[in-house]
Structure 1
């Protein structure tokens, strides 16, 4: 018996849909072949990892693959069943991989599934061309067992506040630095230069508080102390209380002063910790975020960031403003220079 496709308009549309689906499946297969042929396998892929529904089953983070005190960590705290990396996140990751070629960049997801349909080109171009990028599933709840926050996490207090995603992120950066040392970076931070291997934090404008978007730890006992402060002083309804303000309180104890300016000016002694001034990682203040998209003022912005190690782009404020390819926006200029392979995949804006 022979079957015929309906001759109406639905037939051609169905054929086109099937054609597009086959294209994406074939594209995924080709990209996997390219990764293997170049000995690049950021997902620890095997045939069982690849799923034709459009996601990759990630391998769990193996502590033995992490270089103590030298690795750089990004964390996506979205806890949906499958998570995708957006082009702006991919830009931050590429910039870190370029600037720190001798260090491993770990992208840790709280879901074991990486979605690979939307924005697939940016993500795959990123991971197939940098050998120092590894994408892993992070079982964060298991990682808290035996730590100062084990009972706190079990209590569910962290889920009760107004900012559970942000507060989880604040916890995980301290947890990872307690486990491995190294550097934690937010996924809206673009690296311009190698990040130092040392104990460090930085201030943010207007200079009365320290930032938590980039933290370097060599002495892991300090991160443990931060975790203790997190559980003991947890505030459910304040966005910054368990992040920047916690880091500020921690450094006030280490530096034995409440004066943040004294910490980064050198007037205070902070043991073997370096406290960088705001322009090192946050040269444009969060309240001036629109400057990243202002073409008329781009010369000043580019001068302001030229000596920075990295630039925090304040995703909470900037996420709904498009970066227009070729526009001359400072954000677009930084992306074109420091995450060129991701930038090349974008047609119009991201």
Structure 2
């Protein structure tokens, strides 16, 4: 009893101790594995995570850099108008007008620009023009206007200048012959009429007149011998007969110049016989300086395109050298009658 009980008691106690040791060993083993995992596995995972994080960061960083590079590589066109200019300042109704346009594209890509040509703000033509990257382009656009008047031309917001559209000149007539002759069917509009005439090989009177049913004839030329010149007058609208008195060969052109604008003053001109010059722009009071070396009449008159009267500037006989004032507004032509060298300056 005592021995058996003692042994049994010892066995129980031993088992209990072993059990306790086993439990501690399990805990230690667990902790060991845990520490092992912590020392070996977890650091490896940590390094891998760090590498993955680093890798992701590098990859993200590379993507950002690529995005930046991608944005830098995207080029855009940058097209603008550098200048615009009309090729002419006066045209007739319906006549074509050209405007020169200079374009530039300093951008890194090809592109297009929409161009609108306007006259007094109204579109007269429009076009889309392609311009290559990093280049300049010079183009010409053409348009026409059907109404007479003065127009400011622009291309988009770039001023191209001002020009005038005028009605076409009335029909002109040309005749030629030898000796005295009469030509019918000269249908003229009222207003300024210019006769250019040449008489060669003759030594007697050379007279050129326009005759209608009125009481007075319009006499344009009255000279002796050879003649080469022009003269002007304001006449009524009517059908006329051309009456030529001559003893040589002659040529006559009858024209009616018209203009909505003219050259600005000051102007200087000279010749040695009768001429008609213009058109010029007049604006009120002006000063004229003139000289004449001939023996006969020296006359200078400013005529409008339409009207009944002109403005006499000079009306002298023989040699002359002096200055005077005159008053005229609008577009006008200067008719000069002279038989010697002469010069006129108007300002």
- How would you bin the TM-score normalised by the shorter chain? under 0.3
Q: Higher strand share goes to which structure?
A: 2
TM-score (norm 1): 0.20
TM-score (norm 2): 0.20
Q: Higher helix share goes to which structure?
A: 1
Larger radius of gyration: 2
